[in-house]
C-alpha cells in the first residue's frame, strides 16, 4: 500500500503591542490615542467603538462627551461608529454570556471589520468581557484596552487573555493579545477604597515569586496604600505591570500550553472564594487571602522562613486586607471543605497534572505537583488564627 504522506507544519506568529502610561487620555491635546490607532501607518480614518464601565460613567457622566469631543478633535484620523456604550461594571458583565453576545451582535450590525478598533475602558471584568466579544467577531477585531482599576492596570489589562464566567470562573475565553494598552492613572482617583486596594494583592503575588526588591518596597510602602497615597500607588502599578509583562514575554509559555501558571500563585483558593461568595469577595481580596494561605503552607514545608512569612502577613495586612473569609469554612455533605475543590478546578482548567506555584524564599518559585492536604488544612487553621489574633 502506498504510504500516506505526513506534512510537518510549523508556523510562528509574533505579537507586539505597546503598554503605555499617560494622564488625561481624552484631553483633546493628548496625542496618545490618535497615535496608537495610527501606529501601523495606514493612511486612513480609523473606525472605533468605545465601551465604558458603567461605574465610571456614574461617577463621571461627562466622560462620554469628552470621548466624543476627542474623536471630533481628531476627525482626520478617527471616527466613532456609534455613541459611547455603557457596560455593566464588575463581574456582572462576565457572569452572563448574553452580555458578550449582545456586544458581538452590535459589532456585526455596525459592520466593524478586522481593522476597526474596539476600545474597552474599565476594570478587569469589563476588559475581559469586551475582549472576549472582540476576539470572536471575525476571529478578532483590534482591541485597545484602557484599564481603569489598579488591578486592571497592573495585571488584568496588560496580559494576553480574556474570559467570561460560565459554569465556572473564566471558563470560556481566548488568548488574544490586544492591539495596545493605554493606562491613564487619572482614572484611579475615582475608585472606591476597596477597588483601589484590590490590585495591591497582585503586586504582592508577583513580587513574592519574582522580585525580592519589589517585595521589600511593597512592605515598606504598605501603610500608604490604604491611606490613598497616589504616588505610592502609581509606582506600584507601573512596576507591577512591568513585572507581569516581563513574565509573559520571557517565561516561554504566553498561551499557557504547559501546566504551570506561576502568575496564578495563590489563585486556586482565590477563584473558589470568589465563586463561593457569589462574587461578594473581590478578586483582589481573594488573591491576598490565597497568597497568605499558600505562604503559610510554604512555611510549614520549609520553603520560606517564619520571618519571611511574617513579612508577607504584615505587608498584606498593612495594605488593608482582611485575609480571612467565612466561606473558607463551608463544607459539602461529606464534610469536606468546599474551598479544597478549588485545587481540582485549577487542575481541570489547565489540564494535565496538578501544578501549583509556591515561593522558594522571597523572589523565587517552584511548582508543586502534589498538595499535602493535612498540611493545607493546618495552614487554613493558621490563616484563621492569624486573622483572629489581630
Ligand X SMILES: NC(=O)c1ccc[n+]([C@@H]2O[C@H](COP(=O)([O-])OP(=O)(O)OC[C@H]3O[C@@H](n4cnc5c(N)ncnc54)[C@H](O)[C@@H]3O)[C@@H](O)[C@H]2O)c1
Positions in the binding site for ligand X (CB under 6 A): 53, 55-56, 59, 89-91, 94, 122-126, 128, 148-149, 151-152, 155-156, 159, 161-162, 170, 187, 190-191, 195, 198, 283-284
- Checking phi first, is residue 47 left (phi over 0); if not, alpha (psi -120 to 50) or beta? beta
Q: What minimum distance in Å lies between the beta carbon of 289 and ligand X?
A: 15
Rounded to whole angstroms, the Cα distance separating 258 from 353 reads: 10
Q: What minimum distance in Å lies between the beta carbon of 301 and ligand X?
A: 27
Q: In whole angstroms, how far apart are CA 91 and each of 87, 124, 266, 269?
A: 11, 9, 20, 18
Q: What minimum distance in Å lies between the beta carbon of 284 and ligand X?
A: 5
Give residue 333's Cα distance to chain centre. 33
Whichever of 164 and 328 has its CB closer to ligand X, that residue is 164
Rounded to whole angstroms, the Cα distance separating 88 from 57 reads: 10
Neighbour tally for 20: CB within 10 Å? 13
Q: What minimum distance in Å lies between the beta carbon of 352 and ligand X?
A: 20
Whichever of 125 and 312 has its CB closer to ligand X, that residue is 125
Whichever of 149 and 269 has its CB closer to ligand X, that residue is 149
Q: What minimum distance in Å lies between the beta carbon of 379 and ligand X?
A: 24
Q: What minimum distance in Å lies between the beta carbon of 149 and ligand X?
A: 3
Structure-block grid coordinates of residue 360 = 522558594
Three-state secondary structure call for residue 185: helix
Whichever of 284 and 290 has its CB closer to ligand X, that residue is 284
Whichever of 195 and 211 has its CB closer to ligand X, that residue is 195
What DSSP string describes 318-330? HTT-----GGGG-
Which residues does residue 180 pair with via DSSP β-bridges, in sequence order?
144
Q: Are 204 and 215 in contact (CB under 8 A)?
A: yes
Whichever of 46 and 271 has its CB closer to ligand X, that residue is 271
Q: What minimum distance in Å lies between the beta carbon of 281 and ligand X?
A: 11
Rounded to whole angstroms, the Cα distance separating 140 from 173 reads: 13
Q: What minimum distance in Å lies between the beta carbon of 131 and ligand X?
A: 7
**Do strands 19-22 and 180-184 pair parallel, antiparallel, or not at all (unpaired)?**
parallel
Which residues does residue 146 pair with via DSSP β-bridges, in sequence order?
121
Q: Are 84 and 118 in contact (CB under 8 A)?
A: no
Whichever of 187 and 268 has its CB closer to ligand X, that residue is 187
Whichever of 266 and 311 has its CB closer to ligand X, that residue is 266
Q: For residue 135, give every residue at least 6 positions away whose Cβ sits within 8 Å of its Cβ, in sequence order, or none.
A: 141, 143, 162, 174, 176
Rounded to whole angstroms, the Cα distance separating 369 from 346 reads: 12
Amino acid at each position: 500500500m502506498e504510504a500516506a504522506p505526513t506534512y510537518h507544519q510549523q508556523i510562528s506568529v509574533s505579537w507586539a503591542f505597546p503598554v503605555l502610561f499617560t494622564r488625561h487620555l481624552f484631553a483633546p491635546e493628548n496625542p496618545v490615542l490618535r497615535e496608537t490607532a495610527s501606529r501601523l501607518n495606514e493612511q486612513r480614518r480609523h473606525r472605533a467603538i468605545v465601551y465604558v464601565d458603567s461605574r465610571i460613567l456614574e461617577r463621571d457622566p461627562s466622560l462620554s462627551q469628552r470621548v466624543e469631543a476627542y474623536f471630533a478633535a481628531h476627525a482626520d484620523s478617527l471616527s466613532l461608529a456609534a455613541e459611547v456604550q455603557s457596560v455593566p461594571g464588575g463581574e456582572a458583565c462576565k457572569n452572563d454570556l448574553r452580555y458578550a453576545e449582545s456586544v458581538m451582535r452590535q459589532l456585526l450590525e455596525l459592520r466593524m471589520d478586522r481593522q476597526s478598533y474596539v476600545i474597552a475602558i474599565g476594570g478587569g471584568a469589563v476588559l475581559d468581557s469586551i475582549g472576549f466579544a472582540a476576539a470572536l467577531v471575525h476571529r478578532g477585531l483590534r482591541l485597545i484596552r484602557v484599564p481603569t482599576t489598579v488591578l486592571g492596570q497592573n495585571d488584568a489589562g496588560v496580559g494576553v487573555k480574556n474570559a467570561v464566567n460560565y459554569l465556572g470562573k473564566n471558563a470560556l475565553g481566548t488568548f488574544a493579545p490586544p492591539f495596545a494598552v493605554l493606562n491613564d492613572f487619572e482614572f484611579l482617583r475615582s475608585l472606591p477604597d476597596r477597588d483601589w486596594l484590590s490590585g495591591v494583592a497582585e503586586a504582592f503575588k508577583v513580587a513574592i515569586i519574582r522580585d525580592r526588591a519589589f517585595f521589600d518596597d511593597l512592605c515598606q510602602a504598605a501603610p500608604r496604600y490604604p491611606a490613598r497615597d497616589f504616588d505610592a500607588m502609581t509606582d506600584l502599578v507601573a512596576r507591577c505591570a512591568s513585572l507581569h509583562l516581563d513574565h509573559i514575554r520571557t517565561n516561554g509559555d504566553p498561551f499557557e500550553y504547559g501546566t504551570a501558571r506561576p502568575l496564578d500563585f495563590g489563585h486556586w483558593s482565590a477563584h473558589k472564594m470568589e465563586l463561593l461568595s457569589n462574587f461578594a469577595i473581590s478578586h483582589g481580596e481573594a488573591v491576598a487571602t490565597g497568597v497568605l494561605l499558600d505562604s503559610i503552607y510554604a512555611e510549614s514545608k520549609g520553603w520560606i522562613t517564619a520571618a519571611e512569612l511574617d513579612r508577607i502577613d504584615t505587608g498584606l495586612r498593612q495594605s488593608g486586607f482582611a485575609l480571612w473569609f467565612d466561606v473558607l469554612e463551608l463544607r459539602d455533605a461529606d464534610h469536606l471543605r468546599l474551598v479544597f475543590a478549588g485545587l481540582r478546578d485549577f487542575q481541570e482548567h489547565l489540564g494535565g497534572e496538578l501544578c501549583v506555584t509556591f515561593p522558594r524564599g522571597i523572589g523565587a518559585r517552584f511548582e508543586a505537583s502534589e498538595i499535602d492536604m493535612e498540611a493545607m488544612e493546618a495552614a487554613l487553621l493558621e490563616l484563621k488564627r492569624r486573622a483572629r489574633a489581630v
